Structure 1
Amino acid sequence: AVTGILAGVSMSGDLRNPRKNIPIGTFLAIGVTFLIYIFQMLWFEMKISKTELLSDTLILITKSKFSLFIILAIWAATLSSAIGSLVGAPRTMQALALDGVLPKFLGKGTGEANEPRVATIISFLIAFVFIVMGKLDFVAPIITMFFLNAYGAVNLVAGLETFVGNPSYRPIFKTPWYVSFIGAIGSYGVMFLINKYATMISLTVTFLIYLWLSEKKISRTWGDLRSGIWITIARFALLKIRFKDKNESKNWKPDILVFSGNIHQRKNLIYLAKILSKGNGVITLLTYIFGDIKNKIREKKIVECNINRYLKRRKILAFSEVIVADNFKEAAKYTVQSNGIGILKPNTILIGFSKNIERRKDYVEFILENIHLRKNILILKYNDVLKYGNKNKIDIWWGGFQTNGKLMLLLAHLISINDDWRNVNIRLLSIVDDIQKSEEVKNKLGAILDEVRIKAKVKILENEGGIHKLIKENSKDSDLVMLGLATPEKGKEEENLQRIEYLTKGLPTTILVKGLNVEEI
């Protein structure tokens, strides 16, 4: 009979003011039944022995002077619960169908009151199946499990909503979160005490329903508790480590801000960010739309949707930002400084090599500004013909700058732990002017590799015929080349970029690396 506790909720569609009526009506009903049960227990204690209660399930009929009334009351309680369920269940089924959870035909209503006749027939058939299953003692535990499971889930959700402080959760009758959790624990605890096997079946069915609903990807507007939980956890974690040094050596990883532009034209750039984030770094794709923000809002939303769809389809774990700005120079300066939150601010900038001669001054100034901001700079000079080759060989050209070299070693290691680069061989190459120093340099580089625990083969070359010639001859068969990037000189923008073009001409896909924000690896 206590299953009627949700009768008001099931009939919420017919109530004039369900927000007010359901809490008041439910608690009044519970109050009345509570008094009846308390009186009944006291009467049992005074009139009936424990032995009689255990041996005779119909003891009330035996002890009562008016046994016929007891039988009629049992019938009334049973029928009221059954009828209440048969009236409430179809409406719940109809509401779920209208929300897209269940097949649409179950939501069909009849008449002015939109009576759920189809759902009523289905509910009757489900009830009939359980009735013909056998004895009441067999059916009762199964039905009980689903009721208790529902009560436990309601308490659990209510407790979580209160605990995470979701502003949209504003119940008229407010309950502390721990009271709801106690209710949930009590419900599930009683389930295991009654019948552990039936409990496992009930929980398994509930989980399968959850998986089925997840696969349906229902478009909903009522919100998702999971988002609130994850936001609360993320907020707690960020506040917990907000004063930590994100560049401490053990925890350092590249958090990359990618100037991706048109994603379909910069797939190679996004792919590089993806394989570099294998060490759980954070990727943010940045796209600019130039113009007046009033006229670009619709375009901004379209671009955001396209990027998110692309990331989801390619299974790339990344954030995306689309910014409307007047020009690149000013927008990029402020975006780099403001992007991210707390410790999750980018420490590495990934850009493509500029082929636009008119914008080369702005391009070099952008690099210099980020050097002043202590950001690592990665410039990808992509070979459209060779692409990323067979992904078997990475060449790192060590130029003497410790931060550049160590960052290149770390990047090569991160690339090597990706599945499609797992067979890659890393070479560490260095050029010396005096061949007599080659052994000394080789030992020094070998000691660095031992220190950072990265496997690589060391090769020392004598400077004969120019640096570009040596790099080209030794790395022509590589799949990826890494070169250190010297700090560009202001006022010599054209010369700086011409030197980069000269060094990388004829090479496979190349990453130019300026390491500033990296600790000991």
Structure 2
Amino acid sequence: MTLQSPHPSTLDTQDEAIGLGTFGGVFTPSILTILGVIMYLRFGWVVGQVGLYPTMAIVTIATSITFLTALSISAIATDQVVRAGGAYYMISRSLGIETGGAVGIPLYFAQALSVALYTIGFAESVKNVFPNVSIVVVALITTVLVTALALASADIAIKAQYVIMAAIALSLVALFFGHDVTVDPSDAVEAAKIERVGFWAVFAVFFPAVTGIMSGVNMSGDLKDPIRSIPRGTLAAVIVGYIIYMAIPFVLVSRTPTASNALLNPEMMVMKRIAIGGHLLIDSIVLGVWGATLSSAIGSILGAPRILQALARDNILPRSLRWLGKGNGPTDDPRLGTLFTLGIVLAVVMMGSLDAIAPVLSMFFLTTYMVLNIAAGLEGFLQSPSFRPTFKVHWSLSVLGAIGCIAVMFLINPVATIAALVIVGLIYFWLERRQIESTWGDVRQGIWMTVVRTALLNIDDNADPKNWRPHLLVLSGAPSKRWYLIEMARALTHNRGLITVASIIPSGSRSIAQQEKAEVVLREFLDKRGVQAFAKIVTADDPFIGTKQLLETYGMGPLIPNTVLLGDSDDPDIESIERYCNTIRVCHGAKRNVVIYRDESGADAPDSLHPPMYADQADQRIDVWWGGLQSNGGLMLILAYLLRTSWQWRSAEIRLKLVVSDEEALEAAEVNLENLTNSLRIGAKPEVILANNRPFEEILRTSSASADLVFLGLAVPHEGGYQAYYQTLQDRVVGLPATVMVLASENLDFSELLQKDVS
């Protein structure tokens, strides 16, 4: 089933969003997610494990990856109007709807489940202050209150984040103006019990602290000017976060005596012990922890429904969930999506701990970063005329960011990385099978254009026999009438060559536009039947002239059809046979091999259960009538071998048949043919037939009557008499099984392809 995705302009019900600015809509949610619980609960442990300067290196490396990703986001955001959906919208419009959906669906669940992760974290911190409360009850109440803020409006939720940001800022001030940690004799004993880990293990723990730039990007649909706000707000948040993270280690080292080893124990809350007022029941550091968890929860509950809304509007979600794309009010708030997300979050909160899935959630965020970097890198590398960002970033920086993301993913958790990539891959192939059509272009066509251009320029004009592949021009007419030709072409190429199905229609019967549309219809007809082929339709006064036009004009550079596949002429009219023979002569003169497939079974419909190319016998047989390795013989054996590599003919036996006139030549012919078949290594079985004064027609009919397919050579077209020769050949093969008549015309020695020097 093919689904049509709406035009981008329909993704939002209005052109102007709620009007959030850079500071409130991008910077605030991003910086609050960056300055999270890891900063409060694990940063001291990081410093204690590796020391001051390695900590600064960890912060710099981690922030560099985030910064490179922010640059890629800025480039994409300033090239296109970023509507609701944030990262999903950017990826789908750059790398295609399948890639966007493959990343967008896991990203939605990561954002949704993050709400539960943060509210449970908040509840645990509340329990540390008030031991008698229930974590689940506090988490459930917090989840509902946070969702209520999001339902009220994004504007109110953002304003609530201002209060939270004030609490975090107060905690940082209290930390920077704090006092030295009082040495406790028990500190050294407790620290000695803590396992010491290496640099990259510490890096893996710290890296999630610098993620969070998606919080602002996810609000793209609610920004007044996303093209302006996303780059400025995102980069500013990364830079401010870096400055704070580089300053805190100096405070921790200077305020904590080395002998105490207090930094190594996360349970000691060293930042609480340094900060002013740290002795209070609820101090600034506790408020900061609460603010960090609540702000991250608010950012996630704002972002997840907007991703879901965009997925529904692009027909990514199943039909039963399309209602999630509906927006409410003049601001197009995704209220239904928010309630749907609330249901998921409440169910997860009731389950309790999220330790098992938290690593996979981090992988989904990093996968999004990686794909965004790839999208920006490809756009910049391909230099597509449509990619004109006002914020220019060299493609190598985006590629470096993508490499950094995948490296960090494996450093953090290899198993979770593989799990995330497998899930993304499965969703991609699911969406590809659904064949969702989009009305916007993406970078994939540019990628293929670059690959094709490079390949064409590197293909040698002088063909090498050892690298020969069949490039078939199939003159099938209406494919439904001669479907066996298409089956023959598919069996011969078997993913090793190219097929062009061509049809010649009368001049004036179609306009150019109608002709192009007919080619599209023909291509779709072939695709639905699993045939990978190009389609070409030309107009001409008669088929002979049309074939000549195709041979003269079709192709590009060295990539032109080398073999013409056509059906046998079934018109007894003398003029028709003459035109048919002229077609063979023109193909030969153009150095194109000729393969004529004659089938008398009549099973030519594309939907027939047993077309000729699908022989049902357990032991199939292909007879190749041998006239020598040179000329037609080499090409016939190559084609027979290619047929046997297809699944239709995988069990076929190739019999190489040679007729000798007398017994004196029989023994020598048997030895020579046996040696030849052994050297060719294609599994052919030699068979020498004694004529005994019998005409070849009789030998042919008798010997090949039980074959499934027969190969015969064609004489080189010559002036005068070729028409009579071909009519004689037609009479000769009447009553035979399906027959392939071959004329080798290329300037190639096909024996070189068969007889390889392996010394």
Alignment TM-score > 0.5, same fold: yes
The structure-2 alpha-carbon separation of the partners of 1:79 and 1:48, relative to structure 1 and needing over 3 Å to count, comes to same
User: What SS does the corresponding residue of 1:274 show, helix, strand or coil?
Assistant: helix
The structure-2 alpha-carbon separation of the partners of 1:300 and 1:281, relative to structure 1 and needing over 3 Å to count, comes to same
CA displacement at 1:377 relative to structure 2: 1.0
2:587 pairs with 1:370: yes
Residues 670 and 686 in structure 2, CA contact (< 8 A), matched pair in contact too: no
Aligned to 2:570: 355
Aligned to 1:35: 243
Name the amino acid aligned to 2:543.
F
Residues 284 and 321 in structure 1, CA contact (< 8 A), matched pair in contact too: yes
Residues 151 and 187 in structure 1, CA contact (< 8 A), matched pair in contact too: yes
Range that drifts further, 171-180 or 222-231? 222-231
CA displacement at 1:265 relative to structure 2: 0.8
Range that drifts further, 374-383 or 136-145? 136-145
2:651 pairs with 1:423: yes
The structure-2 alpha-carbon separation of the partners of 1:156 and 1:58, relative to structure 1 and needing over 3 Å to count, comes to farther
- Please, what TM-score do these two structures have when normalized by structure 2? 0.62
CA displacement at 1:350 relative to structure 2: 0.9
Residues 304 and 322 in structure 1, CA contact (< 8 A), matched pair in contact too: no
The structure-2 alpha-carbon separation of the partners of 1:474 and 1:140, relative to structure 1 and needing over 3 Å to count, comes to closer
2:726 pairs with 1:497: yes
2:285 pairs with 1:70: yes
User: What SS does the corresponding residue of 2:437 show, helix, strand or coil?
Assistant: coil
Name the amino acid aligned to 1:384.
S
2:307 pairs with 1:87: no
1:123-134 alignment to 2 at 5 Å?
123-134=341-352
Residues 285 and 321 in structure 1, CA contact (< 8 A), matched pair in contact too: yes
2:711 pairs with 1:482: yes
The structure-2 alpha-carbon separation of the partners of 1:114 and 1:326, relative to structure 1 and needing over 3 Å to count, comes to farther
CA displacement at 1:75 relative to structure 2: 2.9
Aligned to 1:396: 624
Aligned to 2:231: 23
Which of 213, 229, 238 in structure 1 is aligned with 2:431?
213
CA displacement at 1:436 relative to structure 2: 3.5
Residues 673 and 686 in structure 2, CA contact (< 8 A), matched pair in contact too: no
CA displacement at 1:124 relative to structure 2: 2.4
Residues 660 and 688 in structure 2, CA contact (< 8 A), matched pair in contact too: no
The structure-2 alpha-carbon separation of the partners of 1:416 and 1:164, relative to structure 1 and needing over 3 Å to count, comes to same
**Superposed CA offset, 1:432-487 (max 9, x none):** 45554344444443343233223223223326353323322332222222221112
2:385 pairs with 1:175: no
Aligned to 1:461: 690
Alpha-carbon distance in 1 for matches of 2:685, 2:255: 88
Residues 463 and 470 in structure 1, CA contact (< 8 A), matched pair in contact too: no
Aligned to 2:368: 150
Residues 360 and 493 in structure 1, CA contact (< 8 A), matched pair in contact too: no
Residues 252 and 271 in structure 2, CA contact (< 8 A), matched pair in contact too: no
Which of 332, 335, 340 in structure 1 is aligned with 2:550?
335
The structure-2 alpha-carbon separation of the partners of 1:327 and 1:304, relative to structure 1 and needing over 3 Å to count, comes to farther
The structure-2 alpha-carbon separation of the partners of 1:403 and 1:139, relative to structure 1 and needing over 3 Å to count, comes to closer
Range that drifts further, 385-394 or 468-477? 385-394
Residues 365 and 490 in structure 1, CA contact (< 8 A), matched pair in contact too: no
The structure-2 alpha-carbon separation of the partners of 1:207 and 1:271, relative to structure 1 and needing over 3 Å to count, comes to closer
**Superposed CA offset, 1:113-155 (max 9, x none):** 2211111112223333444444586775454333333223322
Alpha-carbon distance in 2 for matches of 1:363, 1:405: 23
Aligned to 1:53: 263
CA displacement at 1:385 relative to structure 2: 5.9
Which of 274, 277, 281 in structure 1 is aligned with 2:493?
277
Alpha-carbon distance in 1 for matches of 2:270, 2:509: 79
The structure-2 alpha-carbon separation of the partners of 1:65 and 1:476, relative to structure 1 and needing over 3 Å to count, comes to closer
Alpha-carbon distance in 1 for matches of 2:594, 2:510: 33
User: What SS does the corresponding residue of 2:656 show, helix, strand or coil?
Assistant: strand
User: What SS does the corresponding residue of 2:560 show, helix, strand or coil?
Assistant: coil
Name the amino acid aligned to 1:457.
P
The structure-2 alpha-carbon separation of the partners of 1:507 and 1:134, relative to structure 1 and needing over 3 Å to count, comes to closer
Residues 19 and 172 in structure 1, CA contact (< 8 A), matched pair in contact too: no
Aligned to 1:190: 408
The structure-2 alpha-carbon separation of the partners of 1:328 and 1:64, relative to structure 1 and needing over 3 Å to count, comes to same
User: What SS does the corresponding residue of 2:213 show, helix, strand or coil?
Assistant: helix
Unpaired runs of 5+ residues, structure 1, are none
Which of 338, 351, 361 in structure 2 is aligned with 1:120?
338
**Superposed CA offset, 1:208-229 (max 9, x none):** 4334333433222344555544
Unpaired runs of 5+ residues, structure 2, are 1-32, 35-210, 604-611, 755-759
CA displacement at 1:24 relative to structure 2: 2.2
Aligned to 1:253: 469
The structure-2 alpha-carbon separation of the partners of 1:121 and 1:236, relative to structure 1 and needing over 3 Å to count, comes to same
User: What SS does the corresponding residue of 1:402 show, helix, strand or coil?
Assistant: coil
CA displacement at 1:74 relative to structure 2: 3.3
**Superposed CA offset, 1:366-401 (max 9, x none):** 211221222211111212269566472222223458
Aligned to 2:636: 408
Alpha-carbon distance in 2 for matches of 1:181, 1:429: 59
Name the amino acid aligned to 1:393.
R
Q: How many residues align?
A: 518
2:511 pairs with 1:292: no
User: What SS does the corresponding residue of 1:253 show, helix, strand or coil?
Assistant: coil
Alpha-carbon distance in 1 for matches of 2:514, 2:395: 42
User: What SS does the corresponding residue of 2:439 show, helix, strand or coil?
Assistant: coil
**Superposed CA offset, 1:256-292 (max 9, x none):** 2111111111111111112222371222211223333
Aligned to 1:99: 314
CA displacement at 1:351 relative to structure 2: 0.9
Alpha-carbon distance in 1 for matches of 2:652, 2:354: 67
User: What SS does the corresponding residue of 2:600 show, helix, strand or coil?
Assistant: coil
- Please, what TM-score do these two structures have when normalized by structure 1? 0.88
Residues 309 and 325 in structure 2, CA contact (< 8 A), matched pair in contact too: yes
Name the amino acid aligned to 1:451.
S
Aligned to 1:470: 699
Residues 164 and 228 in structure 1, CA contact (< 8 A), matched pair in contact too: yes
User: What SS does the corresponding residue of 2:328 show, helix, strand or coil?
Assistant: coil
Alpha-carbon distance in 2 for matches of 1:402, 1:138: 68
Range that drifts further, 272-281 or 107-116? 272-281
Which of 724, 731, 741 in structure 2 is aligned with 1:512?
741
Residues 588 and 717 in structure 2, CA contact (< 8 A), matched pair in contact too: no
Alpha-carbon distance in 1 for matches of 2:532, 2:434: 22
Alpha-carbon distance in 2 for matches of 1:293, 1:54: 83
The structure-2 alpha-carbon separation of the partners of 1:23 and 1:463, relative to structure 1 and needing over 3 Å to count, comes to farther
User: What SS does the corresponding residue of 2:491 show, helix, strand or coil?
Assistant: helix
Aligned to 2:184: none
2:457 pairs with 1:239: yes
Alpha-carbon distance in 2 for matches of 1:138, 1:426: 58
**Superposed CA offset, 1:154-200 (max 9, x none):** 22333344344444444332323332233233333333433444444
Name the amino acid aligned to 1:262.
A
The structure-2 alpha-carbon separation of the partners of 1:65 and 1:226, relative to structure 1 and needing over 3 Å to count, comes to same
The structure-2 alpha-carbon separation of the partners of 1:502 and 1:149, relative to structure 1 and needing over 3 Å to count, comes to closer
Alpha-carbon distance in 2 for matches of 1:411, 1:12: 58
Alpha-carbon distance in 2 for matches of 1:259, 1:378: 11
Name the amino acid aligned to 2:227.
R
The structure-2 alpha-carbon separation of the partners of 1:91 and 1:494, relative to structure 1 and needing over 3 Å to count, comes to same
Name the amino acid aligned to 2:307.
T
Name the amino acid aligned to 2:480.
H
**Superposed CA offset, 1:386-439 (max 9, x none):** 956647222222345831122222222222233332333333333445554344
Name the amino acid aligned to 1:53.
L
Alignment identity in percent?
A: 37
Alpha-carbon distance in 1 for matches of 2:708, 2:443: 46
Residues 133 and 139 in structure 1, CA contact (< 8 A), matched pair in contact too: no
The structure-2 alpha-carbon separation of the partners of 1:352 and 1:132, relative to structure 1 and needing over 3 Å to count, comes to same
The structure-2 alpha-carbon separation of the partners of 1:247 and 1:373, relative to structure 1 and needing over 3 Å to count, comes to farther
Alpha-carbon distance in 2 for matches of 1:118, 1:13: 16
Alpha-carbon distance in 1 for matches of 2:692, 2:595: 26
